């Protein structure tokens, strides 16, 4: 068995550009209505983008969490790529979390794996 994560989209090319840059994944050959993004190291599951006609509708029931070494730097990088930060970062279960939206508004989180040990005044995102 192999796990593949599927994300519905109204613009496969737009989200492929964002998510391949965000994750460092390589784009596969389009196979309409799909386009696979693959981890070049083969560690992480593929992200399969699926072109659908209907728009996104409300909060995602499932989302991606990106666990990083420097949440502030990663949030800034993702914003430059086209993501939108949704509110201020917060602490949950001992970890700093920033809720983000990709260019189509699909929610995902950026989580600082170092936890909440840093003083609040250092957060710039």
- Report the domain count for the chain: 2
How high is the pLDDT of residue 125? 41
Nearest alpha carbon to residue 7 among 58, 65, 46: 46
With cut-offs at 50, 70 and 90, classify the pLDDT of residue 120: very low
Whole-model pTM? 0.87
CATH of the domain at 93: 3.10.180.10
Mean pLDDT computed over every residue of the chain: 90
CA distance linking residue 24 with residue 17, whole number of Å: 10
Domain that holds residue 123: 58-125
Specify whether the backbone of 85 is left (phi greater than 0), alpha (psi in -120 to 50) or beta.
beta
Q: Are residues 70 and 20 in the same domain?
A: no
């Amino acid at each position: 068995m192999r796990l593949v994560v599927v994300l519905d989209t109204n613009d496969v090319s737009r989200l492929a550009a964002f998510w391949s840059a965000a994750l460092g994944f390589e784009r596969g050959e389009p196979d309409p209505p799909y386009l696979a993004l693959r981890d070049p190291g083969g560690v992480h599951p593929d992200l399969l983008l699926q072109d659908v006609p209907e728009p996104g509708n409300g909060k995602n029931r499932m989302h991606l969490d990106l666990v990083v070494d420097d949440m502030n730097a990663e949030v800034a990088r993702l914003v430059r790529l086209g993501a939108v930060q949704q509110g201020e970062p917060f602490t949950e279960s001992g970890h700093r979390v920033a809720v983000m939206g990709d260019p189509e508004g699909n929610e995902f989180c950026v989580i600082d794996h170092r936890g909440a040990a840093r003083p609040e005044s250092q957060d710039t995102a």
